[in-house]
A and B are shown apart, each in its own frame.
Chain A
Amino acid sequence: MNVLLAISINGVAAGTIYALLATGFNLLLLVVGVIQFAYPHLVVMSMYILWMTLKATGNNLAISLPAAIAASVGLNLATEPMFRPLVERRYLTASFVLSIGIMIAITDIMQRQINNGVPIGFPAPLTSRDAILRTGLATMTVGQILTIAIGIAAVIGLWHLLYRTQLGRSFRAMTQSHFTARLLGIPVNKMSLGIYSIAGLLGGILAILLAMTQGAASAPLATNLAIKMLAVAIFAGLGNLRGGLICGMVLGLVESYSLNFLPGDWTNTIALGMVVGAVMFKPEGVFSPRA
């Protein structure tokens, strides 16, 4: 019983990461109108900035954690001028191509410019590996529990914003039509900057959670996360926020069970299997669109 519980908690913790990644990606897709495939790369780049700040400040978390969040917001905002001409012309596919360019550039920076291309490792205060629960191969760490708690808080906060405030309603109006949103007097460009900031905030939180749970970062981590994020988003239906949350959680759980009960690591195969399955049998995704 303990084993199943621990495996499930592992799965939910991983699922929370995927769900938050898919949420950031979907917000940018829905509200702004860009396919930001490099979103996980910005998250991992923020992990690198967190690592550098920790090094520079003698592992001062009070400075480093806000710095990681600020870096993530800054990085996401920095992509806005690049995407804007494409958004104005509604070149969705071109935004995907641009995001791949951003992805390659960030990967190069991580692989060549920082720490001589060697994966970075986070110091002890952030990555307490003390297991609260350990049964067989499965463990439950402080990082995982914090991931789940912060993930839930982030989702509740975001949902409150989107469904209970005028700002959130305006974002949702933009998901349906920038034209109509403009006619209602919604300053579409300013609001887009708001969404880049929110995606950046989520990305900063993700960077910290990933640093805690993974303990290390590298360019392949970003690529790995990008595949999972895209799998979740496509499986749920591109731009479906609720679907992204549920499918992220499902992918985390399925991965966790497969890691424990199947020989070898099949996690990427499962994620890509979800994409192939969705594309073949339900190309619009398993959830219907909803504003």
Chain B
Amino acid sequence: MAKTDILRVENVSVSFGAVKALTDVSLKVEEGEIVALIGANGAGKTTLLETVVGLNRVDGGAIYFMGKDITHMSTDKIVASGISFVPERRGILSLMAVLENLQLGNYYVKSDVNKHIERAFNRFPVLDERKKQIAGTLSGGEQRILSIARGAVSSPKMIILDEPSMGLAPIMISNLFKLLAEVNNKEGCTILISEQNARKALHYAHRGYVFAAGRIVLEGTSKELSGNPLVRKTYLGG
């Protein structure tokens, strides 16, 4: 395994009953990269991300994080090893305060917890203004920012985001990607992101994988994928 590989997925297959959700999927994410998974709804992007953090049972293949086999590890141990997962929609604890959401994002941080939270408030000032507010009363965009801030607050080695732009206004989507690029740039945090907004995702990502029917059908640098006729026709509107 190359030294810089932070995540390596090798020939992973997952099924739900008789339905094969992932077939023989292999990918790698290098340290400091932003890697985008693009594909239509139901192509297997979310299944793969959830499988990486131990939410699905793997039928075959293996997953390595920083050289360690995490294929059959429990989710809490995977999170403790440095992967933070920001789920689609269901992310925030809507009945708890903004500050409490961030405190829970630091579940495995034992020292300098307040420093981590202070830094999150500096990066996301809108949350600082509303730290005592119940998270469910934030606007949709603010809730998404909170879920990203919570994912990043513990300075994990890698953040996995599932469809972060889903349901957001275009201006919010741009802001969100800028924030992600900042977290990647300034903190060196590796990002694996699944996104239906392929244009935005490929604009900010270094590399990408295209999913279709539970398989990876294309891979390459963002530039290569953006120039690929199939990707242009199917995901970038021609």
A: residues with CB less than 8 A from B are: 166, 169-170, 172-173, 176-177, 179-180, 182-188, 289-291
In the complex, are the beta carbons of A187 and B95 less than 8 A apart? no
In the complex, are the beta carbons of A180 and B107 less than 8 A apart? no
Q: With contacts A187-B76, A291-B96 known, is A173 near B104, CB below 8 A?
A: yes
* Residue numbers in A under 8 Å from B53 (CB-CB): 183
* Residue numbers in A under 8 Å from B3 (CB-CB): none
Residues B75-102 near A (CB distance < 8 A): 75-76, 79-80, 85, 87, 90-96, 100
Q: Please give 10 more A-B residue pairs, beta carbons under 8 A apart, in addition to A185-B80, A186-B104, A188-B76.
A: A166-B104, A169-B96, A169-B100, A170-B107, A177-B90, A179-B87, A180-B90, A180-B93, A182-B75, A183-B53
* Residue numbers in B under 8 Å from A173 (CB-CB): 93, 96, 104
Q: A179 to B74, alpha carbons, bound, how many Å? A: 13
In the complex, are the beta carbons of B96 and A176 less than 8 A apart? yes
Where chain A touches its partner, the secondary structure class is helix
Could you tell me how many residues of chain B have their Cβ less than 8 Å away from some Cβ of chain A?
23
* Residue numbers in B under 8 Å from A187 (CB-CB): 74, 76
B226 part of interface (Cβ distance < 8 Å): no
B105 part of interface (Cβ distance < 8 Å): yes
Residues B81-135 near A (CB distance < 8 A): 85, 87, 90-96, 100, 103-105, 107-108
Q: With contacts A166-B103, A169-B103, A180-B87 known, is A185 near B93, CB below 8 A?
A: no
Residues B138-166 near A (CB distance < 8 A): 150
Q: A184 to B75, alpha carbons, bound, how many Å? A: 9
- The 5 A-B residue pairs with the shortest CB-CB distance, nearest first, are A185-B79, A291-B95, A187-B76, A182-B75, A185-B107
* Residue numbers in A under 8 Å from B230 (CB-CB): none
Q: A179 to B90, alpha carbons, bound, how many Å? A: 9
Q: With contacts A169-B100, A170-B104, A179-B90 known, is A186 near B95, CB below 8 A?
A: no
* Residue numbers in B under 8 Å from A170 (CB-CB): 104, 107
* Residue numbers in B under 8 Å from A169 (CB-CB): 96, 100, 103-104
Q: How far is the CB of A290 from chain B (nearest CB, A)?
A: 6
B55 part of interface (Cβ distance < 8 Å): yes
Q: A166 to B79, alpha carbons, bound, how many Å? A: 17
- Write the chain B residue with the least CB distance to A191: B76
Interface centre among B91, B93, B96 (most CB of A within 10 A): B93
- Write the chain A residue with the least CB distance to B80: A185
In the complex, are the beta carbons of B75 and A290 less than 8 A apart? no
In the complex, are the beta carbons of B96 and A186 less than 8 A apart? no
In the complex, are the beta carbons of B107 and A166 less than 8 A apart? yes
In the complex, are the beta carbons of A183 and B104 less than 8 A apart? no
* Residue numbers in A under 8 Å from B100 (CB-CB): 169, 172
